[in-house]
Amino acid sequence: MFKKILIANRGEIAVRVIRACKEWGIQTVAVHSTVDKDSMHVRLADESVCIGSHQPANSYLNISAIMSAIQLTNAEAVHPGYGFLSENANFAKILEENKIKFIGPSSKLIKMMGDKIEAKKIAKKYNLPVIEGSENGVSDLKQAKEISKKIGFPILIKAAGGGGGKGMKIVHNEKDFDLSFSSAKTEALKYFGNDEVYIEKFFQNPRHIEVQILSGKNRTVHLHERDCSVQRRHQKLIEETPSPLLTNEIRKDLFEKTVNMVTKIGYEGAGTVEFIYEDGKFFFLEMNTRIQVEHPITEVVTGIDIIKEQIFIANSGDTALSQEDIKPRGHAIECRINAEDPSKNFQPSPGTIGICHLPSGFRTRVDGAIYQGCNITPYYDSMVCKLICHGRNRSEAIQRMIRSLDEFVIEGITTTIELHKKLLTHKKFLDSNFNVSWLDNEKII
Amino acid sequence: MEIDKKIIKKLIDTLENLKKSLKGEDIFDNNDPVEEEIEISKTVVKSPIVGTVYTAPEPGAKPFVSIGNKIKKGQTIMIVEAMKTMNHVPSSMDGVVKKILVEDGQPVEYDQVLIILG
């Protein structure tokens, strides 16, 4: 097993990885920016190295500084967490060349699945249903229009190198097409350095369903699905497993097809295959080649520590799990606690945390990096911690989540806690009668 | 060093005003520096949020404003990034840019003065 792992991340996910390493007796190295010197991940790690200033480009995205930190501390492997360099094929390649293990798939696979057009072709090749649209990138306006008319409006123009909702344009009718097409190309070039775009049918009321997989050289297993349909501006807010909507028949089909594709591409590590689900049908969206924020809900229903499995696969090349080992029990929900003000259009709310009381009790888990007196700076993501509750069934999980949210006290900053209380008691959530655009169309707070 | 010079110049000005007020009988002379302060506080644009300031729409691009530029009320003068959200900072009035007090990429606090208008 590895003797020392460097965690190229910050916040709650860095703490999560450090905890897993500690339990296995693996030494940990935290890297941090100047403003993060008092962060919890720095305090919990065995060693820490300051790698740059507050701006991510100078620190958490600074590959050469991280390489120096690896050299200084003799770390054997790097856990990238999520965000930052976790899906950066160049970073993975540099590590490969320097014989440092990247805890994740090969740089080749990261690159392959990072190109959205390429990923869609692969999904189609291995029989996953894909969203109707252009097979390749389209550069010609006339051709783009022809394709769109064939699919039928509304359509979506997406950047090949894209993600995070940027460079994405919804076009509702033909007359708006020309303008949207040219601005999508301009934005794609600006954000991703590549003006290649492709066209897809736009779904009006979809749910977001994803399948967690763990894969080694020996086999691929799935850890069932997660339903992440409570979103605001394409950002997940509440996730749950199992999905209240899927039938066992659809579920079986979804898992079989996903595992088949992941096996065929020779994937190694943890990954998530994301789908759009509408009217009883699922369509491949993309594959995330890293750990995800919402992984704990899968952990609490399956009893499997996904971070440890990632480390195990990175070290041995194989997964120790077989499909029979994975028997999820009950229902789990995660609420993301963000430092933002839902009543002011989710405006960021940085500041110093005063009183900080975390909920606890039966089947309540908090994954975070906050403590009384810690400073939530404005330089990084607004998510400060996650609350995960497990119940025998969905209604017990909801009851436990409401009870836990009631116990939660964070003073000094505005958070999404109050919004979550309203959402969890909302009829639409209780009936699971909503889609990904619910919060964009209805003001709850 | 620039700040030092400013402070020294202000000190000299204040001293001169003091001298004037001592020589003459007009007590209103004393109010001059105070009036100037009030004027300054009215013609500045401050950061609406704590975060990282960007003086141009993207790296390497032309800055939103330069010294001597005539700007209109509502015109974007800078961007302050807080928790991955880009907040455009509009000018609160028409005017000419006299001074730019921040550098691209620098951290800024809530209410920190970004530019002085004339």
Q: Which one of A344, A379, A416 makes the best mutation probe of the B interface by having the most chain B beta carbons within 10 Å?
A: A379
- Alpha-carbon distance A259 to A217, whole Å? 13
Chain B CB within 8 Å of residue A192 CB: no
Encoded tokens for A142: 């006339």
User: Backbone phi, then psi, for B114, in 5-degree steps?
Assistant: -95, -50
Alpha helices in A115-236 (DSSP H): 116-125, 141-151, 177-192
Give tens-digit pLDDT for A271-313.
Answer: 999 999 999 999 999 999 999 999 999 999 999 999 999 999 9
Q: Give the one of B58, B83, B105 whose C-beta lies nearest to A378's C-beta.
A: B83
Q: Quick one: pLDDT band at residue B39, thresholds 50, 70, 90?
A: low
Task: Please state the pTM of the whole predicted model.
Answer: 0.87
Q: Is the pLDDT of residue B34 over 60?
A: no
Q: Which 47-66 residues of chain A touch chain B by CB within 8 A?
A: 54-55
ipTM of the complex, rounded to two decimals: 0.70
Instruction: Enumerate residues 6+ apart whose C-beta is below 8 A from B48.
Output: B80, B87, B89, B110
Quick check: B32 pLDDT over 60?
Answer: no
Contacts of residue A87, defined as CB under 8 A and 6 or more positions apart, other chains included, come to: A110, A114, A288, A289, A290
Question: Does an H or E element contain A111, and which?
Answer: helix A107-114
Contact in structure between A180 and A169 (CB atoms under 8 Å):
yes
Q: For position A132, what pLDDT does the model report?
A: 93
The token pair that represents A272 in the structure block = 């998530």
Q: Is A347 in CB contact (< 8 Å) with chain B?
A: yes
Q: Are A201 and A133 in contact (CB under 8 A)?
A: yes
pLDDT tens digits, residue range A356-409?
999 999 999 999 999 999 999 999 999 999 999 999 999 999 999 999 999 999
Chain B interface test: which of A10, A55, A60, A376 (most B C-beta within 10 Å) = A55
Catalytic positions of A: 290
What pLDDT does B41 receive?
59
Residue corresponding to tokens 């090969």: A106
Chain A residues lying within 8 Å of B84, measured CB to CB? 380-382
DSSP-H helix ranges across A265-317: 295-302, 306-316
**CB atoms B83 and A339 under 8 Å:** yes
Give pLDDT, residue B30: 47
Look up residue B25 and give its two tokens. 């009988």
Nearest to A54 among B49, B84, B107 (CB): B107
Report long-range pairs for A16-25 (Cβ below 8 Å, ≥24 apart). A16/A307, A16/A367, A17/A79, A17/A81, A17/A307, A18/A44, A18/A45, A19/A44, A20/A305, A20/A307, A20/A308, A20/A311, A21/A311, A23/A308, A24/A308, A24/A311
CA distance B92 to chain A (A): 20
B81 vs A: CB within 8 A? yes
Q: Does the beta-carbon distance from B50 to A380 stay under 8 Å?
A: no
| CA proximity to A196, closest of A162, A164, A163, A150 | A162
Structure confidence at residue B23 as a pLDDT band (50, 70, 90): low
In whole angstroms, give the CA distance from residue A210 to residue A255: 10
Residue with tokens 């229009």: A145
What integer pLDDT is reported at residue B31 of this predicted model?
47
- Find, in chain A, the residue whose alpha carbon is nearest to that of B87: A347
- Over residues B91-115, the mean pLDDT reads 93
* Chain A CA closest to residue B107: A54
Structure tokens at A194: 């590549």
Say what the pLDDT of residue B25 is.
Answer: 47
- pLDDT at B1 (0 to 100): 47
pLDDT under 50 in chain A at which residues?
none
Classified as helix, coil or strand, A105 is: coil
Can you give the pLDDT at residue A164? Answer: 60
Q: What is the pLDDT of residue B29?
A: 46
CA A389 to CA A361: how far, in whole Å? 10
Question: Which of B49, B52, B58 minimises the CB distance to A379?
Answer: B52
